Amino acid sequence: MSLPHAILASLLEKPCSGAELARRFDKSIGHFWQASHQQIYRELGKLDDAGMVESTGRDTGRGRERHYLVLPAGRALLEQWCRSEAAPRPVRDELLVRLRAAAVLGDVNLTAEISRHRELHQRQLEHYQDIQERDFPGTTAGRPAGGTEQDRLQYAVLRAGILFEEAWLAWSAETLDGTVKR
Amino acid sequence: MSLPHAILASLLEKPCSGAELARRFDKSIGHFWQASHQQIYRELGKLDDAGMVESTGRDTGRGRERHYLVLPAGRALLEQWCRSEAAPRPVRDELLVRLRAAAVLGDVNLTAEISRHRELHQRQLEHYQDIQERDFPGTTAGRPAGGTEQDRLQYAVLRAGILFEEAWLAWSAETLDGTVKR
DNA sequence: ATATCCATGTAACGTGTTACATGATTGT
DNA sequence: ACAATCATGTAACACGTTACATGGATAT
């Protein structure tokens, strides 16, 4: 149940239209909470009905651009959610199910698929590193060169992405090493 | 779309009833692909209708135990799926959304929540390590002490869980260090 | 004017979650 | 007989995905 909150956070940072929100999602929050434009429009509608956001151009219908703005109630909701507790989601990965299935079937070789994933993760890691260079220059590992509390939080989020991709790379390296080459 | 395949793999390993499947799920495949018993019954019904599995005790209705067995068609389906390609799912983590929101709000301290997650991940890691000791004794890191291809695949799956939890621990350590203590 | 693209929106479906209901089994 | 428990199942809903439809804006 974090999509509405992710939307509120993004809108709070900068009010915008649904389409722009969808685009911005792809480039920031979407790195760890994805949503299609249909989901976003749906949630924006609900948030509007609930009085959490305000939309310019009511009753404008289809092709008309609508701008959204977070209302105080929306900010309060986000803050409350932000202070609440939630359990971490367990891992959910299809490739691991495939590995388990291959272990049962006994005659499926997953080397190529693991390599393919490895390259995808490699590319994702490079992407994150590019963002790091752009947004947090002068930082090679650990903590940012300085900056506000907000910078540190943003950096922490990016850092999580980097560490996960690195974990994937480490895993695929040792797995390819152990399952095939020997 | 991997739940039916996860079920097929688990059933192929050992035919059983829906309830037992649900229980076994919690302890093995469920570590990286969770499902409630309702989901499992639903999928078992579909797999049965599709002729992928066979169930003893047709028309037995509610409280009657039903045993399921994978049919050749089911095995073929699993094998085909196992050879297919799929993109890795991007990270999806609520805590990171919270961090982003906190960065926007500016007055929410997430230290306690991060610590709490850290402990949960620590426990999960220990759980995986217990499994490692039990199922792959004599292995401290890297690859198992020997064994069949199937052992190596199973080990790789477990290893993925371990590496992810370690990545979480590394992240939370450096984040707690960078965001608060200074 | 018409082709193209963009923003918004609808519809249908699949997957995941929560709550509850019913029939069998077991223990007392 | 009765309670407790277990296995199976239903219902309703939230979330996510895919495909498509409509209105407006832009360019030729």
- Is residue A99 domain-resident? yes
User: Among A14, A98, A125, A154, which would you mutate to test the B interface (most chain B Cβ atoms within 10 Å of its Cβ)?
Assistant: A98
pLDDT, residue A60, reads 72
State which residue of chain A sits closest to B146, comparing Cα positions.
A178
Looking at chain B, which residue has its C-alpha nearest residue A82?
B98
DSSP helix/strand/coil, B58: coil
SS3 label, residue A163: helix
Same domain, A100 and A38: no
Going by pLDDT thresholds of 50, 70 and 90, the confidence category of residue A167 is: very high
Predicted pLDDT at B178: 78
Q: Using the beta-carbon criterion (under 8 Å), do B159 and A179 form an inter-chain contact?
A: no
Is residue A26 over pLDDT 50? yes
Calculate how close chain B gets to A149, using CA atoms only, in Å: 7
The answer to whether residue B25 scores a pLDDT higher than 60 is yes
Contact B33, B6 (CB under 8 A): yes
Q: What is the pLDDT of residues B36-58, one digit of tens each?
A: 999 999 999 999 999 999 998 76
Contacts 24+ apart (CB under 8 A), A17-26: A17/A65, A17/A66, A17/A67, A17/A68, A18/A44, A18/A66, A18/A68, A19/A65, A21/A68
Average pLDDT, chain A: 92
CB contact under 8 A, A101 and B6: yes
DSSP A6-42: HHHHHHHHS-EEHHHHHHHHHHTGGGTS---HHHHHH
Same domain, B137 and B78: no
Q: Is the pLDDT of residue A74 over 50?
A: yes
Residue A146 has pLDDT above 80, yes or no: no
Which residue range forms the structural domain that includes residue B74? 3-83
Domain boundary among B83, B117, B133: B83
Secondary structure (3-state) at A54: strand
Which CATH number fits the domain that encloses residue A61?
A: 1.10.10.10
pLDDT score recorded for residue B182? 46
Question: How many domains are there within chain B?
Answer: 2
3-state secondary structure of A53: strand
> Is there a single domain that holds both residue A149 and residue A106?
yes
Residue A23 included in any domain: yes
Same domain assignment for residues B138 and B164? yes
pTM for the full predicted model: 0.93
Residue B181: pLDDT band with limits 50, 70, 90: very low
From CA B135, how far away is CA B154, in angstroms rounded? 10
H/E run at residue B54: strand B53-56
**Residues 127-166 of chain B whose Cβ lies under 8 A from any Cβ of chain A:** 142-144, 149-150, 152-157, 159-161, 163-164, 166
How far apart CA B28 and CA B42 sit, in angstroms, is 20
Q: Is the CB of A41 under 7 A from strand C?
A: yes
**Arithmetic mean of pLDDT, A151-159:** 94
CB contact under 8 Å between A161 and B2, yes or no, is: no
In a shared domain, residues A72 and A9: yes
